[in-house]
């Protein structure tokens, strides 16, 4: 049981490049989310999903796309990287019923130069 | 609007001191869920505790205790006899409701430094 797995752990991009951050969970959680962490601002929600085929925007969705074709996977795509997207990204998953706490991946530290 | 405020940006204590981390939340929902997470220097987020709005019982887990007060919309976290290993960033969070949506609203975080 690996929990929530994020890849890569570190990434450096040039402005304008695109990339996909991978997230997979093996706990059969219905809910999955992406957050970004910036100094002094806590974590902010980018996109979330309540199940396969269903996604919606969070607080800071601009510049990011998501899709959820399976229960297990929830990739985050950066369409055209900008220096403002330099951040630490966390993927999380949780149950829709019963236990409500979110389980987080290890995080991806992204630098856009 | 829902909001979580952790007014203490940084706290520094000497080992064995007690320390309380404050968390104040805003919500109009009658059913809501609150959490504390720990982020050690290694960077991962570690779940510490969950509390729902209809359970006001305070909780103690070893050196950790939590005081949930609906009357003041606070969910404070106390570490008794702090240790160097407690040094971390601590986040208070609220599920963006109503109910369980799986979407978390985080406070800004409190950085705790415990000096030997």
**Shortest alpha-carbon distance between residue A48 and chain B (Å):** 7
**Low-confidence residues of chain A: pLDDT under 70:** 1
Give A100's contacts in chain B (Cβ within 8 Å).
Answer: 33, 50, 52, 95, 100, 102
Rounded Cα distance between A58 and A54, Å, is 13
Terminal CA-to-CA distance of chain A, rounded, Å? 36
Rounded Cα distance between B27 and B97, Å, is 8
- Nearest chain A residue to B107 by CA: give it: A42
Query: pLDDT tens digits for B36-54?
Result: 999 999 999 999 999 999 8
pLDDT digits (tens), chain B, 116 positions: 899 999 999 999 999 999 999 999 999 998 999 999 999 999 999 999 999 998 888 888 899 999 999 999 999 999 999 999 999 999 999 998 888 888 999 999 999 999 99
Give A94's contacts in chain B (Cβ within 8 Å).
Answer: 102
- Asked if B52's CB is within 8 angstroms of A106's CB, the reply is no
Task: Give the closest residue to A87 by CA, choosing from A5, A7, A12.
Answer: A12
Rounded Cα distance between A6 and A104, Å, is 9
- Asked if B100's CB is within 8 angstroms of A88's CB, the reply is no
Task: Give the closest residue to B5 by CA, choosing from B54, B55, B72.
Answer: B72
- Nearest chain A residue to B36 by CA: give it: A101
What are the beta bridge partners of residue B95? B104
């Amino acid at each position: 049981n690996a929990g929530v797995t994020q890849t890569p752990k570190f990434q450096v991009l040039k402005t304008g490049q695109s990339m996909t951050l991978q997230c997979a969970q093996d706990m059969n959680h219905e809910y999955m989310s992406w957050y970004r962490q910036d100094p002094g601002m806590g974590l902010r929600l980018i996109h979330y999903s309540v199940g396969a085929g269903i996604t919606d925007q969070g607080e800071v969705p601009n510049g990011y796309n998501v899709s959820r074709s399976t229960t297990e996977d929830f990739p985050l795509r950066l369409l055209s990287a900008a220096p403002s997207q330099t951040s630490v990204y966390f993927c999380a998953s949780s149950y829709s019923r019963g236990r409500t706490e979110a389980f987080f991946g290890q995080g991806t530290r992204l630098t856009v130069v | 609007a829902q909001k979580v405020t952790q007014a203490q940006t940084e706290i520094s204590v000497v080992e064995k001191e007690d320390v309380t981390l404050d968390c104040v939340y805003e919500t109009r929902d009658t059913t809501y869920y609150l959490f504390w997470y720990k982020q050690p220097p290694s960077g991962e987020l570690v779940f510490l505790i969950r509390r729902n709005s209809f359970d006001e019982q305070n909780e103690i887990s070893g050196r950790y205790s939590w005081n949930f007060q609906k009357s003041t919309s606070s969910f404070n976290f106390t570490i008794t006899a702090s240790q160097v290993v407690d040094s971390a960033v601590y986040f208070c969070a609220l599920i963006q409701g109503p109910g369980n949506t799986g979407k978390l609203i985080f406070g800004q975080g409190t950085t705790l430094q415990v000096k030997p």
